[in-house]
Each structure stands twice: as C-alpha cells, then as structure tokens.
Amino acid sequence: MYRGRKLSMLAMALAVFAGVQTFADPARQPPATKHQMIVRTLDCMRKRMQTDRAVSYNEAAKSCRARVTRQAEKSASDPVTASDN
C-alpha cells in the first residue's frame, strides 16, 4: 500500500510538471517562478485530494493549475510599492 501511494505521488508530480512546462512561457517567467508554480500546484493538489476523496486526479490538477496561474497573474499585475518604516 505504501509503495502504491509513493508511485501515485511520483506520477502526479511528473504529470503536473509536464503540464506546467507546456503552459509556461520561458521568455516571460524566470526559472525560479516555474519551480514555485510546480510546488504550489502539487501542494494544492495534495491538499485538495486529501480533503475530498471523491475528487479525481484530473479535476484536482485542472483546478489547481488554474488557481496557481490566476494567483501568479494577479501578483504579476500588482504594482510593487516600497513601504516606509
């Protein structure tokens, strides 16, 4: 049972990595951001699939990818301001 879980998590990580690489624009995003998006997507999927066992892998991957992409776009469009202390 433990080996099956380990293999499914590895498969999930590889599938998400491949999906993020497909949608990522290398000219627009530095490599650190791509890595962060992959980590955030995997974390979201793990939490979502643990919380609701009825959610399929594909549903979790699709919704988490969309969520992470929206968050990245939102943070990229927000202006950076310096704060006074």
Please report where in the chains the tokens 């879980």 appear, as a residue. Answer: 5
Residue 13's φ and ψ, nearest 5 degrees, are: -65, -45
Q: At what angle do helices 31-51 and 2-23 cross, to 10 degrees?
A: 140
For residue 29, which of 82, 68, 81, 80 has the smallest C-alpha distance? 68
Tens-level pLDDT at each residue, the chain (85 residues): 456 666 677 677 777 666 555 555 555 555 557 888 899 999 999 999 999 888 889 999 999 999 998 888 887 776 655 555 5
Element (H or E) spanning 24, and its range? none
| Kind and range of the H or E run holding 36 | helix 31-51
Domains of the chain, residue spans: 29-71
